[in-house]
Amino acid sequence: MPTVCETCKAPTRWAETDSGNWMMVDLRPSERGNLRLRERGTEAPGVSRLGTSEAQRAREAGEDLYIAHFATCPDAAQHRRRRVR
């Protein structure tokens, strides 16, 4: 389900990673993308991170790949977690 980034208002969606974490992903495919979205019926989509060569092959095959919104958000620094010392 599409949403928007709280700070930059860009259209995004949430996707569950293979490790069970959630990641905000740009809504539109990207030529630099390395994320494959997997639809799961009515649930939120899952996402798999592809290696460089695998992503290149997928793009050449015409597959739409996506990019993590954190990589494109102009306000990403506001969302970084502070390290606990």
Residue 3 has pLDDT above 90, yes or no: no
- pLDDT tens, position by position, 37-64: 877 664 556 888 899 999 999 999 999 9
**Which segments of 1-85 are extended strands (E)?**
2-4, 11-17, 22-26, 35-40, 43-49
How many residues are present in the chain?
85
Q: Distance from CA of residue 37 to its chain's centroid?
A: 8
- Amino acid 40: pLDDT: 63
- Residue in the block written with tokens 């969302």: 79
CA distance 26 to 72: 8
Mean pLDDT of all residues belonging to the chain = 85
